[in-house]
Chains A and B, each alone.
Chain A
Amino acid sequence: MVSARTPAEERAWRAAATVMDPEVPVLTIEDLGVLREVREEAGTIVATITPTYSGCPAMDLISVQVEVALRDAGFQDVKVKRVLSPAWTTDWLSEEGRQKLRTYGIAPPAGAAGRGALFGEPAVACPHCGSTHTTKVSEFGSTACKALYRCESCREPFDYFKCH
């Protein structure tokens, strides 16, 4: 059973939730779904985070920043715990997060994550002009979670946040 957060836990959650993803600096770790839970366990505030990708180099920084945010909010005993299960999915990206991505120039994931076709592409809309006349340039963009696309309508290159 998941019980409701206590007022202290709620305050701690809100503090931890202000941490921005270092690689997509318009999204908070709450928008991304990286922040899973904040609980008080025997006087210690335990924040649970999950990596987007196994080798995500941002996780160390996020851990430190969560710890700092909690201390800044006045919590003395804090701990950041990493979990792998359930595995992070782009389905956890909030609608607000998706809109923030578009505004920032990154196309949000098209459709739901799943064990779909191995080859073949979803229709990805250009975050600049909205055209779906786009071409994948590379399966991997500036970070593991993004692919590199080019819009054939407005000719702008853009990052696509892959379904995962």
Chain B
Amino acid sequence: MTTLTLTAPSPHLAFLLRLADDNLILGHRLSEWTGHAPMLEEDIALANIALDHIGAARSLYDRAAELHGEGLTEDDYAYRRDARGYLNCLLVERPNGDFAHTIVRQLLYSAFALPYWAVLTASTDATIAAIAAKSEKEARYHVRHSGDWFLRLGDGTDESRTRTEAALAALWPYTGELFEVDATLEPLIAEGVAADPRSVHAVWQQTIDQALAATGLTVPEVPFMQTGGRTGYHTEHLGFILADLQFMQRAYPGATW
């Protein structure tokens, strides 16, 4: 099974892959907690959230495959692309770190995903609209879950507060990328296939401010925002995720069971 390289994918296909890759990689990260979470309830919660993300990714890859033709399936996108072919934002590939890192990463992403799915329910791509309607409902629970934990950790012990503050400082530079608009996105926004992520920035900020206010923590000062994931330039972490995720298909091409 050879590596799948997409040379100049159409904006529509690239947009589907960006969304799908965000969900696959974040789902994979969360699945790494299975069997390791601080308590049983959390183990189950994180696994359930992982399933929501992976489910959304599968539907989006299906749609990408349909658009792409050439007999591709969802598995080809997940198992046959190298890191350079992945278009997820950098935030979702950040390591799980401690529990505070995982919770802060989830809150920062889900607070964006919730309103973004909501506007995507009006996509002119009926499949994207249908996936968005489903995912919006799920994202609501993801925000509640991570928001509740953000409060408990941020307003908890000195230890948990210090860790939450450190996670916020470490992850904040990856939030700018969520709202980027480039030449791929522009025509799709005009056509109504995609939605403008900048249109949900205020709602995102409001959710984060609400969570911060409850803990007394503040938005960290960062000199600049990290970028690159949407065009395939990733941190060193993605390669390790893919080594784990793709091992079976790379070692035994086309293996099924």
The residues of A with any CB-CB pair to B shorter than 8 Å are 51, 53-57, 83-89, 113, 115, 118-119, 137-144, 148, 162, 164
The reply to whether A138 and B42 form a contact with Cβ atoms under 8 Å apart is: yes
Assuming A85-B126, A86-B133, is B51 touching A142 (CB within 8 A)? no
Q: Are B51 and A118 in contact (CB under 8 A)?
A: no
B44 touches A55 (CB 8 A): no
Nearest chain A CB to B80 CB, angstrom units: 22
Contacts of B51 in A (CB 8 A): 53-57, 144
Which of B2-10, B92-100, B140-148, B162-170 sits within the interface?
Answer: B140-148
A–B complex contacts, Cβ < 8 Å, 18 sampled: A54-B134, A55-B27, A84-B133, A85-B133, A87-B130, A87-B133, A113-B137, A118-B144, A118-B147, A119-B144, A138-B45, A139-B145, A140-B44, A141-B44, A142-B44, A148-B41, A162-B141, A164-B137
**Is B129 within 8 A of A138, CB to CB?**
no
Residues from chain A with a CB closer than 8 A to the CB of B145 are: 139-140
Cβ contact within 8 Å between A144 and B48: yes
Most buried by A among B53, B134, B141: B134
State the main secondary structure of chain A at its contact with B. loop
B-side interface residues, number (CB < 8 Å): 36
Among candidates A84, A115, A141, A143, residue contacting B134 with C-beta atoms closer than 8 Å: A84
Contact among A86, A144, A162 for B52, CB-based, below 8 A:
A144
B56 at the A interface (CB under 8 A): yes
Contact with A along B13-57 (1 / 0, CB 8 A): 000000000000001000000000000011011001111111110
- A140 near B48 (CB under 8 angstroms)? yes
Contact B135 A54 (CB under 8 A): yes
The answer to whether A55 and B41 touch across the interface, beta carbons within 8 angstroms, is no
Q: A53-B51, A56-B55, A143-B48 are in contact. Are A118 and B42 (CB under 8 A)?
A: no
Please, which residue of chain B has its CB at the minimum distance from the CB of A137?
B41
Q: How far is the CB of B104 from chain A (nearest CB, A)?
A: 17
A63 to chain B minimum Cβ distance, whole angstroms, is 14
- Further contacts, 14 of them, CB under 8 A, given A54-B135, A84-B127, A141-B44: A54-B55, A54-B58, A54-B59, A55-B52, A55-B58, A85-B126, A85-B129, A88-B134, A118-B207, A140-B49, A140-B141, A140-B145, A142-B44, A143-B48
- Is B138's CB within 8 Å of the partner chain A? yes
Within 8 A of A (CB), among B53-99: 53-56, 58-59
Specify which chain B residues have a CB less than 8 angstroms from the CB of A54 in the assembled complex. Answer: 51-52, 55-56, 58-59, 131, 134-135, 138
What is the distance, in angstroms, from B13's C-beta to the closest C-beta of chain A?
19
Q: Which residues of B contact A119 (CB under 8 A)?
A: 144, 147-148, 210
Query: Are A139 and B45 neighbours in the complex by a CB distance under 8 Å?
Result: yes
A87 to B127, CA, bound (A): 12
Which residues of A have CB within 8 Å of B131? 54, 84
Sort A-B residue pairs by CB-CB distance and give the 6 closest, nearest first.
A55-B55, A54-B55, A55-B51, A85-B130, A140-B45, A138-B41
Is the pair B140, A118 in contact by a Cβ cutoff of 8 Å? yes
B55 touches A53 (CB 8 A): yes
With the chains together, A149 CA to B253 CA distance in Å?
Answer: 45
In the complex with contacts A84-B59, A164-B137, A138-B44 CB distance below 8 A: yes
User: What's the least CB distance linking B22 to chain A, in Å?
Assistant: 14
Say yes or no: B55 contacts A139, CB within 8 Å.
no
Which B residues are CB-close (under 8 A) to A148?
A: 41
* CA gap between A119 and B145 in the complex, in Å: 9
Considering only CB atoms, which chain B residue lies closest to A139 in the complex? Answer: B145
Residues of A close to B50: CB separation below 8 A: 55
CA–CA, A84 and B137, complex, Å: 13
**For the complex, what is the distance from the CA of A92 to the CA of B53, rounded to whole Å?**
24
User: How close is A96's CB to chain B, nearest CB, in angstroms?
Assistant: 24
Cβ-closest chain B residue relative to A54? B55
